[in-house]
Copies of this chain bind each other. A is one copy, B any other.
């Protein structure tokens, strides 16, 4: 087990009707003016926005509205949000939506908290935020785990760069998790969310750190539970328990619990960022689903026992003691079959792209040769390109 720090100060309010208390909750922290940040308008159609503003009104909390976040949130929109916060003297940002909205809110929060600094430099690691406006969330999509994490991913449209950075400054102060708010999430987005949640744990699980049995077992338990709930939510979108499992697992999958004691790098996420950075219409979960199994098959020979453990404990595969590699591959096959059963793509070809940009994406992924993607082996640009091609041919 590696040394680690664990810090999850986000207060979670989980369950039915919880979002109706948002006014009281915001006020309990002493904030009286918020910016409600949201997406393309579904929160208006479902009536959620009205419920939120009505709760804020009741508690005497003022608000300004700022919507328009798209999947793969952009730097340009975040810069607009910073202007509004400054002009309106906003005290906290209330993100009502999924990971894109929350990440946009985090970026705005870092920008406003550090006047005079260029917020993009936080993403390129040239600078770091000293503080941020507080962020609270009302989650409407179980997927990114952004509601409890220190991470934030933004796309800079100039150059098609999608970059993430972690900072304690923007970790949400509180998150309101009402599974009922995800009943309206469609089949495809539910599948994307299920894959994203699994991947946040899988990418922590598949690392070289040894003797992390406790973290392993928590990860395996979470995965089993998500696999089952994902199937149910796919078939019965209004199953409260399945939606609740996905929502809580989404938070736990990315708050570091399933990576404690492991050196975590998340190679597939890095590869996917280049993919949806280049093709912003590709949903993050779909990109992960199309890439994971090819990455896994490429690195599996270097970690057959670990992939076998996954196969046996998560997928109930029989262990082949004579040839553990067979068990390892059976676990990857089971994962692929599961993703497909949710209607998720398991090849890049299905995403409707060509194979022309794979070289460029691989170069970008290594920051043009400045890094490799480590784990069981260090992946350099040619190897990353090979994996993109494997994922295309699959």
Residues of A within 8 A of B (CB): 1-9, 11-16, 18, 211, 213-214, 216-218, 220-222, 224-226, 228-229, 240-241, 244-245, 248-249, 252, 257, 260-261
Q: Please, could you name 13 A-B residue pairs with CB atoms under 8 Å apart, sorted by A?
A: A1-B241, A1-B248, A2-B15, A3-B18, A4-B14, A7-B11, A8-B9, A14-B260, A217-B222, A218-B218, A218-B252, A221-B221, A248-B261
**Smallest CB-CB A-B distances: 7 pairs:** A3-B15, A217-B221, A9-B9, A6-B12, A221-B221, A211-B241, A214-B225
Contact B244 A229 (CB under 8 A): no
Most interface-central of A218, A229, A240 (chain B CB within 10 A): A218
Residues of B close to A16: CB separation below 8 A: 3
Partner of A217, one of B8, B18, B225: B225
Bound state CA distance, A2 and B8, in angstroms?
A: 21
- Determine which residue in A4, A217, A222, A225 has the highest number of CB atoms from chain B within 10 A of its CB, and name it: A217
Residues of B within 8 A of A241 (CB): 1, 211, 213
A309 to nearest B CB, angstroms? Answer: 13
Q: Which residues of B sit under 8 angstroms from A11, Cβ to Cβ? A: 5-7, 9
Contacts of A1 in B (CB 8 A): 15, 240-241, 244-245, 248
Of chain B, the residue at the smallest CB distance from A251 is B6
- Closest chain B residue to A246, Cβ basis: B214
Is A248 within 8 A of B214, CB to CB? yes
Write the nearest CB–CB distance from A294 to chain B, whole angstroms: 28
In the complex, are the beta carbons of A4 and B15 less than 8 A apart?
yes
A7 cross-chain contacts in B, Cβ below 8 A:
9, 11-12
Q: Are A8 and B5 interface neighbours, CB within 8 A?
A: no
Contacts of A9 on B, CB cut-off 8 Å?
Answer: 7-9, 11
How far, in Å, is A378 (CB) from chain B's closest CB? 25
Task: Tell me, in angstroms, the Cα distance from A261 to B248 when the chains sit together.
Answer: 10
Q: Which of B6, B12, B216, B222 meets A214, CB within 8 Å?
A: B222
Other-chain contact of A213, B15, B214, B228, B260 (Cβ < 8 Å): B228
A215 to chain B, nearest CB (A): 8
With both beta carbons as reference points, the residue of chain B lying nearest to A13 in the complex is identified as B5
- Residue numbers in B under 8 Å from A244 (CB-CB): 1, 211, 261
Question: What's the least CB distance linking A218 to chain B, in Å?
Answer: 5
Which residues of the other chain, B, contact A217 by a CB distance below 8 angstroms?
221-222, 224-225
Contacts of A222 in B (CB 8 A): 214, 217-218
* Residue in chain B with minimal CB distance to A1: B244
Query: Please, how many angstroms separate the alpha-carbon atoms of A222 and B257 in the complex?
Result: 12
Closest to A16 in B: B3
Give the residues in chain B near A6, CB-CB below 8 Å: 11-12, 14
Q: CA of A112 to CA of B137 in the docked complex: distance in angstroms? A: 35
With A213-B245, A214-B248: A14-B3 Cβ-Cβ less than 8 Å: yes
**How many Å lie between the Cα of A1 and that of B248 in the bound state?**
11
A205 → chain B closest CB, angstroms: 12
Q: What's the nearest-Cβ distance from chain B to residue A28, in Å? A: 12
| Assembly CA distance A244 to B209 (angstroms) | 14
Question: Contacts of A216 on B, CB cut-off 8 Å?
Answer: 225
Distance in angstroms from A181 CB to nearest chain B CB is 14
B248-A225 in contact (CB<8A): no
A290 to chain B, nearest CB (A): 27
Residue of B nearest to A241 (CB): B211
Nearest-neighbor residue (CB-CB) of A219 within chain B: B221
Given A244-B261, A260-B14, answer yes or no on A214-B249 (Cβ-Cβ < 8 Å): yes
> Taking CB as reference atom, which chain B residue is nearest A245?
B214
B residues in contact with A3, CB < 8 Å: 14-16, 18
Q: A1-B240, A214-B245, A214-B252 are in contact. List 9 more A-B contacts (CB 8 A).
A: A5-B11, A6-B14, A7-B11, A14-B260, A213-B225, A213-B241, A214-B222, A214-B226, A217-B224
